[in-house]
Structure 1
Amino acid sequence: MSRRTVALREVGQIVGGGTPSTNHPEYFGNDYPWITPRDLSRQGTRFVEAGERGISQAGLAASSAKLLPAGTVVISSRAPIGLTALASVPVTTNQGCRSFVPGNDADSLFMYYLLGSLSDEFERRANGSTFKEISGSALGAFEIDLPDLVEQKAIAMALGALDDKIESNRRTMGILEKLGAALIEQAFTLDPFGNPEYDDSRRLGDVLSLLETGSRPKGGLQEGVEGVVSLGAQHVQSAGVCARTDFGHVPHEFAESMTRGRLEEGDVLIYKDGGKPGNFIPHVSAFGYGFPVDRAVINEHVYRARAGQGVSQGLLYWLLRSPWMDLEMRKRGTGVAIPSLNSTNVRNLPTPAGLSSKASGLSEKLEPMLAALLRLGTENRRLANIRDALLPELLSGRIGVSQAGEAFS
């Protein structure tokens, strides 16, 4: 494997971005995607094709934004530094991004993985008094060890195959989420505002067999403690999806002594409190089939819920994620200094009329779908762990692609 040390500017172009004047609404539109660090922070895949906003041809001409070709690696240069995405279509960016346009000697997917692995180093080289930023010149002068193009493509293909499977699983999970939501929506008669008729005699608490939070040791979690994973509100996203993997741990002895908050297979998890004052944003997830870990407890900021009365965990999950239940939780959780959904609020959530007669049929369909979401989430975690273990070894040349295949075959 031949490698050479080169500066980034020797194998591609470093291009900055810009923002059209907001005094001209006509500068914004749908002619070109306009990518910002905020957009990169919300990326769920390697590829970016659109931002929250776009700019018009006039906006492009009247600003320092540049039209970048597909295959460009977009890098956030401030707040935060080092987020990366690969443009799948021509895009523009604001000044919070620097972009690397690969030349003939650089493979775009390989450079995506390489530059993404350097975020900590970019952060260290950033400067600025008001906020830290890595300049285009500093980025261009950054030296890398670049393998030949054949090896670049082989490395990109190996890592890309893992990410292809992860992204395929995510698409399947998205379909399952939408299908579950559609089954709930079709089961009940909705008014013009999308809300069902509620059963005034039956609240969510009437169909719950358990609702409890967990706890942490006095003084909270401590760094370096080995034990049982403790899940907090930041880990509650959706079934099979957990963006935060910085799990804290409680000692084994503490976990064994907990009288509440020890998770069981199929538990539905509900975000209890946190966020900005006056803005409670509900999140509902689930635990099981190895997701997000094999064994865990929860802290005092998360509820675990189990259903009874013929309602399955799958039905409970999609009921809580329905638009009308989301709205009800927002109303009950907002209006306090620390946005919070207390247990009375949860138990008093309304249930749709006709739930009892439809629970069995819905449960039969939704329970295996929840299990599938959790299994896919577990598989994605395993694939991501393999990718993250391989990435520095392949990029550094410590192992070759053929050796990587043997190690994980």
Structure 2
Amino acid sequence: MFRRMKLSEIGQIVAGGTPKTKIEEYWNGDVSWITPKDLSSHTSMYISNGERNISKKGLDNSSAKLLPKGTVLFTSRAPIGYVAIAKNEVTTNQGFKSIIVNDENDNIFVYYLLRNNISVIENYANGSTFKEISGTVMKNLEFDIPSLMEQKSIANILSTLDEKIEINIQINKTLENMAQAIFTQWFVDFEFPNEDGQSYKSSGGEMVESELGMIPKGWKVKKVEEVTKIIRGASPRPIQDYIRDEGIQWVKISDASSSNTRFISSTKEFIKEEGRNKSREVKVGTLILSNSATPGIPMIMKIDACVHDGWLIFNEFREITKEYMFHFLTENRVGILSLSNGSVFRNLKTDILKNYKIIVPSSDVVARVDEIFKSINNSIDNIENQITTLAKLRDEILPKLMSGEIRVPIE
């Protein structure tokens, strides 16, 4: 049995606040303070802290409120619709309308209720500069709510799927870290296994001088442009005239920053067919690198798509492989970014990267490590496919569970 209820009947709606930024003693304390930006790339249900903390004095001298563990956090502006659950006591800035769920309702169910109704809630937003959901509007939003027991059953089904997804995400992160550690061991520390299976450098392998310091004998130092072709993406202008709800997948930097893995497997936006020739097409398996906004993020394409001018595209590898270049870019991100420019948004110029120096190992070592990387990548790819399947299942049953189309057994 579902009953029509206002959100204010489900829990207390609480806004947030920001202490004065010029008063240092209000900041860097031990009170967790969450902003919409903290949720922009956050993928798990729970969040414990944001990028910054505030102090007890900052809390007491601002409109920020200390929210109890289990509070459902909902961004009400910039943008509307990020949702998470407080893993511990937290505060938020004014970009939230959070719900302290009462004992007659289940907070995990409310989390999924909001996720399922983001587009509905957005329709109630107002504002000239940016759209926002007011506290009054949030309190008066109405939804069909089942009994507490059914809420718990629905929440259990959906959270079980999300827990499995989260476990797989963590496994993939471990595999990615393992691959990067191998790259560091072989090509930074030069402790790759020699013909006797011993670590090259520490077992006395011959080293020679180079412009990047001592490197194994037979290895070389080249410019990046000598081992791969780099071209910049392109954007049809004005881009707003080409954005569509469906069409050619359009890769933005946010698609990388919100991804759980090294792969781009979907995009949030699309462009119409007429924009294809005004952009750059990339195929499945292509290595791309962000060069603006959040520069220096290497990603591998799992879809055919178009990329804008905030991306660099890598093709035609010589003497090294795509996998070697991916890990090289990851290993050297800080050094590469130190050469970028821009006061507000950092930009990585194509010519800077083309002239960046790279160590080129002997062909046999490249071939050996590539086999290892391919094995790890196959595991990552298989787990990524599991994540996609589980997420698709969750997204398909979510609206059906929330509407009562699918009813669940109540224990």
User: What's the TM-score bracket when you normalise by the shorter of the two chains?
Assistant: 0.7 to 0.9
SS at match of 1:89: coil
Give yes or no for the alignment of 1:37 onto 2:14: no
The aligned counterpart of 2:370 is: 363
Distance 2:27 2:234 in 1: 49
Kept in 2, the 8 Å contact 1:76–1:84? The answer is yes
Q: What does residue range 10-409 of structure 1 map to in structure 2 within 5 Å?
A: 10-128=9-127, 131-189=130-188, 197=213, 201-208=221-228, 211=230, 223=244, 229=249, 231=251, 235-236=255-256, 239-241=262-264, 244-248=267-271, 250=273, 261=281, 263-264=283-284, 266-271=285-290, 274-275=292-293, 281-287=295-301, 291=302, 293=303, 296-299=304-307, 301=309, 302=311, 303-309=313-319, 311-322=320-331, 324-325=332-333, 327-328=335-336, 331=339, 339=347, 341-342=349-350, 345-352=352-359, 354=361, 358-401=365-408
Match of 1:331, SS state, is coil
How far the C-alpha of 1:101 sits from its partner, in A, is 0.8
Structure 1 Cα separation of the partners of residues 39 and 171 of structure 2: 22
- Within 2, Cα distance between the matches of 1:124 and 1:204? 49
Q: TM-score, normalised by structure 2?
A: 0.78
Distance in 2, matches of 1:179 and 1:351, equals: 21
- Judging changes above 3 Å, is the alpha-carbon distance between structure 1 residues 224 and 325 closer, same or farther for their aligned structure 2 residues? closer
Q: How many residues matched?
A: 376
Q: Secondary structure of the equivalent of 2:269?
A: coil
| CA pair 213-375 structure 1, distance change in 2 beyond 3 A | farther
Q: Note if contact 1:232-1:298 (Cα within 8 Å) is conserved in structure 2.
A: no
Q: Secondary structure at the match of 2:162?
A: helix
Work out the CA distance in 1 between the residues paired with 2:384 and 2:270. Answer: 16
Percent identity, aligned pairs only, is 30
Q: What is the deviation of 1:229?
A: 4.5
C-alpha distance 189-306 of structure 1, shift in aligned 2 (>3 A): same
Distance 1:24 1:211 in 2: 46
* Letter of the structure 1 residue corresponding to residue 327 of structure 2: W
2:29–2:56 contact (8 Å) kept in structure 1: no
Cα distance per residue 1:256-305 (max 9 Å; x no partner):
x99x95525x432233x554xxxx71221113xxx3x3xx1444645142
Distance 1:355-1:117 versus aligned 2 partners, 3 A rule:
farther
Alpha-carbon distance between aligned partners in 2 of 1:63 and 1:312, rounded to the nearest angstrom: 54
Q: 1:108 and 1:225, CA in 2 relative to 1: closer, same or farther beyond 3 A?
A: closer
SS at match of 1:84: strand
Give unpaired runs (5+ residues) of structure 2: 190-210
Give how far 1:11 is off: 2.1
| Separation in 2, partners of 1:25, 1:214 | 42
TM-score (norm 1): 0.78
For 1:353 and 1:166, locate their aligned partners in 2 and report how far apart those are by CA, in whole Å: 38
Q: Deviations over 1:175-227 (max 9, x none)?
A: 2232222222222447xxxx96487742233433x55567799998574775x
